[in-house]
Structure 1
Amino acid sequence: MSSVQISRRRILVDGEPSLVMAGEVHYFRLPRQEWAARLDLLVEVGCTCVASYIPWLWHELPDGTLDVTGRTRPERDVGAFIDLAAERGLTFLARPGPFVMAELKNEGLPYRLYREHPEIVPVGWDGQPAPTATVDYLAPAFLREVERWYDAILPVLAARSATRGGPVLGVQLDNEVGMLAWVSNSPDLTDHLVDDLRRWLRERPAGSTHERGAQEALVGVLDGDPQRWRDTVRTPPEELAADLRVDLGLFMRDRFARYLDTLALQVRASGLDGLPLFVNIHGTEGGNGVPFAIGVSQLYRSYAGMPGLVAGSDHYLGEMGRDATTDIHFVNAVMEAVNGADQPLTSLEFEAGTGDYDAGLERLYDGSTVDLKVRLHLAQGNRLINYYLLAGGLNPRLDEPVGDGNDRISFTGRRHGTAAPIGPEGQRGVTFSATREVTRAARLHARWLADHDEERDDVAVAFWPDAFLTEYTHPGSAAVREIVRDLEVHRGPGPRKALWRSWLFDGWRFGAVDVSDPTSEAPRVLGLACGEVLDGDVQTRLVEHVHGGGSLLLLGPVPTRDTRGRSCTVLGDALGVRGGRREVADPRRHHPSVRGTGPLADWTEMRVGWWQELTGPEGAVPLVESLDGTVCGLGVRHGAGRTVVLAAEVPGSPQLFTPVTEWLGAQRGTALSTDVPGVVATTSATPDGQRMLHLLNPTAYPATVRLTPGDPTGLLDAPLDMPARTGVILALGLDLPCGLRLESANAELTDLTEDALEVGAGLGATTELWLSGEAGTVRCADDAVQVSRDDGRWHVVAPDRRPVRLTAGPVT
């Protein structure tokens, strides 16, 4: 019997921190006789866990009965697949839906549900049919059907729970809840849901100024005819549209929480009560990671701080370059910002493979992509990574033909997972070896990666979830479109991702803070990218942060209204800063530029998309101005703190953002400098002080990197040569199983045993490492490698950057 718990942002297996490297293998897309071979390949990759969706659509038969034991087809025997995994020492992450997506028809729901229960099928804006296969999650008929499905599948999982000595370490609740309505901008406006919204608005406490809205604006409609209320929600008049947009989004957060709570209660009652329950967060869009925070905004009230619940990312960001690097860092940071103190970062759908999902030779991601993505996730503290999809397969035909062109379970045709490291027929794909190598590196460092935390500088990005409350926008409302556009342009990393990218690629170690949470603790410097729209509650908290001695970097125009379109100037009033006229670029006729002034006089002139004239209080420090001398960047002292307002659409520029951040009172702990912009450097430490340096070069150019990571030997203060598109984990004091402590090394560990260690090629002119400990001997079989004792430490130097293998012997 094992225990699987979450505590201190770690996954604890029998009380010990654990790093879970999983791969998604869909048993239902494989002939049963091939299950073992696919699992053997998963073991070869180095995974410790196998994950799989369990599609309701696959297990329900045309007569409505359910087969989860293989009585009708051997490929329906879920328990047998899990048992095969256990025989190989693998754990199992179960994903039983009810929605599973996975390119399945109806997103994995049986066709019967839509025929027998038309009331669960939503309409959207203006009463138009929903363009996706979504349903009303809390419709009574749907919940009854889900209960029936869970009653069939959950006992199979419970019998194999880790708490009973089995391999099942966790269960995912549904999948990508709320995603279908967001991507289609078509909320699930069934009569049942709209009537529930009416009740919710009537019963809801007044709450904050931000949360009040429809109770006041809609009082006549709320108390009137029920059909008039439904029509108003589906086709809101212009004077009510802005309030309804906000209140519908806030209501859906609450409704998603009730839905997932309903599923969690049933899962726990089935005998799976001792396991973590996972919530999969969508969703990147078109290779852009910023919209991922829409999923966080929709669902964080469902899981944040909830005992036993764990959120996981779901991202598809393409080849690893500077955009993808910025976006991955953003995804992990905003998830961490809303997580509770015990909830770890995980990735439930970690994009793996070539990216050629349609088998059309459109994409071929570089093999370094998976390596770099894994390393960045691990550096930021992810405890579980699930390669999706690790192994492809073949889509079986539906038992009951539906006449849709192929009658298969999936809309991808016969072959599925053509981009995966393991192809549909079981062949090793071109990314197989790269996936295997980075998984091996992760497992080699797992004893530290399972129990480390990123070390942070005194800075963080302010994450405002309601900036992403934009999933429902009535197309007929000009006011709503204008508010949403302001939010979309400025939120998160900022226009051109300038705030996030500038800090990340200049060596700042930072996360994010949820500024909508009054209990959240902020570091000295908060950076916030926003537009004219910023709610009063958040503005007030920012004022309190600065007045209490903190600092604020505001990238964007001075806020003037809230998300409901009402006037709101709390922040500007407190700082004494006013925004004036704007100069906006026109690609054909107008090309505004700005330059640094005063403390930023060395910052060179740069063209911008727009700038806004700023006026400030007496003593304000001009920092940025247009070429005619109009101030558009100001430094302001307020109370015990400082604020910088940069009211211009500037490009990513460490030469701007780092001096500004330092003026606000923060210093970089790693002081990164490099001849190739785009290198990422951060450090992490375990509770007992063992430390690692994480370096990534996602560019196509070799880089020379200088930094000060706090190396006790000074070795890593020397320039390091980072090859193009590579990442490394370097020791800054790691206790090894052979009894030695690796004080520092300019090469990554590649092997560890009870009496030996091995490192790869060094990043300097030589491969070099320092060891300490009581071992009697440290030897290398390579005569060219110098091993010497210096000041109580072992110093090892190998010429030509060659790999080194050392053996350590006891005192004799």
Structure 2
Amino acid sequence: MSEIEIKNGSFIISGRPQIIHAAEFHYFRTPENQWESRLKLLKETGFNTVATYIPWLWHEIEEGQFDFDGHSHPMRNLSGFLDLAAQLGLWIIARPGPYIMAETINEGIPKWVFSSYPELSIIDQKGDHLHYLSYLHPQADKLIKAWYKAVFKILNPRQIDHAGKIIMIQLDNEIGMIAWVKNMIDLNPDNLERFTEYLKVTKKRDHSTVWVSEELCHPDQENGRYILQAYSHYYREVISIYAQRLWDIAKACGMTVLPVINIHGFGDQGRSFPIGLSQLLKAIQIKGMVCATDVYPLRIGEDNFHQLLLVNEMTKALQNEDQALFSIEFQAGGNGDFSGSQSSMTDLHTRLCLSSGMKAINHYLFMDGENFPEISPYKRHDWGHPIRKDGSFRSHYYRYPKLTSMMNAYGIALIQAQPVTETTIGFLIDDYMTEYFNKIVKTEHETLRHFRNAIQFDGMARFCTIEHLNFNAIEVQIEDFNPKNTPTLWMMTHDVCPRNVQQKLIDYVHNGGRLIMIGHIPIMDENYDPCMILKDALSVSKIEDPKTDKIDAFQYTDIPVNLIQSVQGDFDHVFAQTKDKEVIGFVKNLNRGKVVFLGAAVPTSTIEDLDVYRQISKLVQLKPSLDSFDWIDMREMSGPLGRFLCLNNYSDDPWMDLITKKGKALFNHRPIELPARSGLILPIDLLIYPDLKLVYSTIELRKIESHKKHIILHFSSEGYVKIESNTYLVDGPVVVDTANQELHLKGTSLTLIKKG
């Protein structure tokens, strides 16, 4: 058994659950005489791990000529860098490619690869040979094996299983990303033959490679959708085979630690991220494979934090069951000097992700640097990271030590705590299989993107987060669900829905589930054949497109909407319609369950809009447990050692209010205070030691000092604390409320003396 494993949603290192809190540092962009000071700085900041790319093009400039010890240049001394990090007590995440991207030439692939072996290049729809590897080409496989054989001679003895510090190794980088962003089909003859054979086996269609190539390059109306949809499914298999092949090569070279593949696609404020999930669907489900996200929100506020949460929940829904949520590229840069960016963003984003169950974070990239011409034609590598090239700090750096001290103080209790959820958002990952387009499907894809953004992300997820209805997500085709584990389910639907999913949704409702459907009534299955299972079960007799973009719902009139659809049928209750009495929203009781359908994308821009969603949720008896008079982002985590209330204030104004749970005030009716653009993670019934419980605190615990006869608890500010213990007595400047045994700190620390 390896010294690092994943169990019950936690990373276990040498038998102990850990939060992996990492920062990315590129040794190949920093002079070797500064490595030690930079690594010490990471340690002092509170990080326990350093991550780095290992660029193939930097270490094998000519084929077969490797430098890992710095004999050709001291900044190629990979061995020395890894040993230095280990000596300083940092765990290591190694990222040896073959691809690394990271603003490097050929995305990290040596130039000689394409000049010496042009046959392994991708050929695109224009017939151009591009400097990208055709993933499964035999020559690419041969060269990758040689690279891995060389680099793993350095990595293998430094793994934690050999008393080293490497705990994870990333295989390649953002597999499939380039193909998506360039809309690039791989027409390399090797790949074309593989795809043609795939069509023969899976679709029972015996096409020639000439026909397949022509349809991919110049699709006709009859086959344009079919060929592109088939290629997307096929390329999921390619990516999975490639990822498994890399892992097999690495294991043959001695790799024993956890393998990682990362998921790209964080554009459009995160709403395009599930496209990357779709591309890597088969790969991230390889048994034992760890998947990690690349997340670059640029900013965080009340208008977009819901998108970050839905990205996390969709990832959790698809990753291997025991895995902890992990972001291996968690934006740390983007704060250029005098750029007007948010210095609070990384702190608030980290807190948000901790509250959704993230247990491993690599802050990417943590330090500026410089490129050599072999790496990039651009010398400067400065994207507003926390630490400048000269070692000075940008303003957002100073939040990291406070953040890491809080995480370390809560320790194993925070590691074992998981989010408490109250409802579920369902999704179909095939709705995001839109990485490629042609003239036949381009309009369809754009319409589907509108459904995803307006309903799934900025409708359902936005309402639930603002309403404090903390949610998880499930992929409804892959996962089994029932009314017991999923009492309420939100589902975006459009004209196409797989036949088996339509039946699963109806069965769920018949068995007592409460389903909120927003969008259109599906009328086709995944093959675009007629399929009316949902339509018939809901007693919908006719579907129409109203000639209006406004509806009346509940007590509100003239609500602006889009993606509108009206229906006729036998319904139990109508709650939304047009001025012409066309039905837009209805309730249908089915056996023991209920469906609430809304045939429009209602915005979430005003209090009135949000109340429409609130009243819809009340139709299925759904209401939040947590509340406050003045709004604040809040969610609860719970574990065997206690609970946490996670609060984020995204506003430019300070916040203070009471917090209630199921109508009962928390923290002994003490108001909680949050400065502008800040967060708190507050303990409730936190077991610090077997005979020391922190019943609650209105301030954040930052550090625990343990001594032989006393301990000192350090907090973020003055505030109220309640302690239960038969072993410790309070000492120091506090005011004691004897009635409630509550302590009012007159400073930021609390000393507890051991009796006797």
Give the structure-2-normalised TM-score.
Answer: 0.94
The number of residues matched between the two structures is 746
CA 133–666 in structure 1, closer or farther in 2 if over 3 Å, else same: farther
The aligned residue for residue 431 of structure 2 is: 467
- 1:776 is displaced (CA, Å) by 4.0
**How much has 1:788 moved relative to structure 2?**
4.3
What value does the CA root-mean-square deviation take over the aligned residues? 2.3
* Residue 810, structure 1, aligned to residue 754, structure 2: yes
Letter in 1 for 2:260: F
- Aligned match of 1:654 in 610, 634, 642? 610
| Structure 1 residues 713 and 238: CA distance shift in structure 2, 3 A | closer
Cα distance between partner residues in 2 of 1:488 and 1:805: 51
Does the 8 Å CA contact 1:737/1:753 hold for their aligned counterparts?
Answer: no
Contact 1:253 1:301 in 2 (8 A): yes
User: In the alignment, what sits opposite 1:685?
Assistant: 638
Q: Which structure 2 residues correspond to residues 262-341 of structure 1 after superposition, within 5 A?
A: 262-273=245-256, 275-286=257-268, 288-304=269-285, 306-341=286-321
Is residue 252 of structure 2 the alignment partner of residue 253 of structure 1? no
User: Structure 2 regions of 5+ residues with no counterpart?
Assistant: none
SS of equivalent residue, structure 1 residue 733: strand
- One-letter amino acid of the structure 1 residue matched with residue 385 of structure 2: A
The answer as to 2:4 corresponding to 1:4 is yes
- 1:371 touches 1:438 (CA, 8 Å); kept in 2? yes
Aligned to 2:350: 374
SS at match of 1:348: strand
- Aligned to 1:238, the other structure's residue is in SS state coil
Per-residue CA deviation, residues 500-521 of structure 1 (Å, 9 max, x unaligned), is 1000111111110011114356
| Secondary structure at the counterpart of residue 602 of structure 2 | coil
Q: Report the Cα distance in structure 2 between the residues aligned to 1:7 and 1:566, rounded to whole angstroms.
A: 43
Give runs of aligned pairs for residues 502-521 of structure 1, distance below 5 A.
Answer: 502-519=463-480
Choose which of 759, 770, 777 in structure 1 pairs with 2:715.
759
Contact 2:628 2:660 in 1 (8 A): no
Name the SS for the 1:112 alignment partner.
helix
What does residue range 137-536 of structure 1 map to in structure 2 within 5 Å? 137-204=135-202, 214-215=203-204, 219=205, 222-223=206-207, 225-273=208-256, 275-286=257-268, 288-304=269-285, 306-356=286-336, 363-398=339-374, 409-411=375-377, 413-457=378-422, 459-474=423-438, 476-477=439-440, 480-491=441-452, 494=455, 497-519=458-480, 523-536=486-499
1:561 is matched with which residue?
524
Verify the 8 A CA contact 1:389 1:417 in the aligned structure 2: no
Judged with a 3 Å threshold, the aligned counterparts in structure 2 of structure 1 residues 2 and 195 are, in CA distance, closer, same or farther, namely closer
Q: Per the alignment, do residues 2 and 146 of structure 1 end up closer, same or farther by CA in structure 2, a change over 3 Å counting?
A: closer
Q: How far, CA to CA, are the matches of 2:557 and 2:661 in structure 1? A: 29
Contact 1:674 1:703 in 2 (8 A): no
Distance (Å, rounded) in 2 between the aligned partners of 1:309 and 1:722? 40
Question: Structure 1 residues 705, 642: closer, same or farther in 2, change over 3 A?
Answer: farther
C-alpha distance in structure 2 between counterparts of 1:423 and 1:141, whole Å: 41
> For 2:753 and 2:690, how far apart are their aligned partners in 1?
8
2:591 pairs with 1:639: yes
Alpha-carbon separation, structure 1, partners of 2:211 and 2:243: 30
Q: How does 1:586-735 map to 2 (within 5 A)?
A: 592-597=549-554, 601=555, 603=556, 605-618=558-571, 620-652=572-604, 653-670=609-626, 672-676=627-631, 679-686=632-639, 688-709=640-661, 714-715=666-667, 719-735=671-687
CA displacement 1:23-61 (0-9 Å, x = unmatched): 000011111111111112211221110000000011112
Query: Any conservation in 1 of the 2:496–2:525 contact (CA below 8 Å)?
Result: yes
Deviation at 1:570, TM superposition (A): 2.0
Distance in 2, Cα, partners of 1:378 & 1:6: 17
In the alignment, residue 294 of structure 1 is paired with which amino acid?
A: I
CA distance in 1, matches of 2:629, 2:558: 22
Instruction: Give the distance between the partners of 1:737 and 1:164, measured in 2 at CA.
Output: 33
Instruction: Determine helix, strand or coil for the equivalent of 1:237.
Output: coil
CA distance in 2, matches of 1:753, 1:594: 60
**1-side partners of 2:542 and 2:674: how far apart?**
44
Contact in 1 for aligned 2:289/2:320 (Cα 8 Å) = no
CA distance in 2, matches of 1:560, 1:685: 42
Quick one: structure 1 residues 466 and 771, their matched pair in 2 at CA, closer, same or farther if it must change by over 3 Å?
same
Is the Cα contact below 8 Å between 1:189 and 1:234 reproduced in 2?
no
Q: In 2, distance between residues paired with 1:19 and 1:709?
A: 28
Q: 1:685 to 1:623 in 2, by over 3 A?
A: same
The C-alpha deviation readout for 1:359-396, integer Å capped at 9, x for no partner, is 7x5x3322211110000111111111001000111101
Q: Secondary structure at the match of 2:523?
A: coil
Q: Which residue of 2 aligns with 1:589?
A: none
* One-letter amino acid of the structure 2 residue matched with residue 621 of structure 1: H
Deviation at 1:157, TM superposition (A): 0.8
Report the more deviating stretch, 744-753 or 250-259.
744-753
In structure 1, what is the Cα distance between the partners aligned to 2:531 and 2:654?
A: 49
Distance in 2 of aligned mates of 1:241 and 1:279: 31
Shift of 1:713: 8.6
How many percent identity over aligned positions? 27
**Contact 1:709/1:717 (CA < 8 Å) preserved in 2?**
no
Q: CA deviation at 1:109?
A: 0.2
* Aligned pairs (5 A) from 1:28-47: 28-47=28-47
- Report if the CA contact (8 A) 1:353-1:419 is conserved: yes
Residue 650 of structure 1 deviates from its aligned partner by 0.6
1:78-89 matched pairs, under 5 angstroms: 78-89=78-89
Q: 1:201 Cα deviation (Å)?
A: 2.3
How far 1:609 moved relative to its partner? 2.9
Give the secondary structure class of the aligned counterpart of 1:753.
Answer: strand
* Structure 1 CA distance for aligned equivalents of residues 340 and 678 of structure 2: 18
Runs of at least 4 residues of structure 1 off by over 4 A? 710-713, 716-719, 788-791
CA displacement at 1:633 relative to structure 2: 0.8
The alpha carbon displacement at 1:716 in A equals 6.0
Quote the offset at 1:772 in angstroms: 0.7
Q: List aligned pairs for 1:768-779, cutoff 5 A.
A: 768-779=720-731
Change (3 A) 1:616 1:694: farther
CA distance in 2, matches of 1:809, 1:739: 13
- Kindly indicate whether the alpha-carbon contact (under 8 Å) linking 1:681 and 1:693 is maintained by their aligned counterparts in 2: yes
Matches within 5 A, 1:734-753: 734-737=686-689, 739-753=691-705
* Per-residue Cα deviation, 1:147-194 (whole angstroms, up to 9, x for no partner): 000000012111100011101001001100000010111122212112
d(CA) in 1 for partners of 2:668 and 2:226? 55
Aligned equivalents of 1:66, 1:252: Cα separation in 2: 33
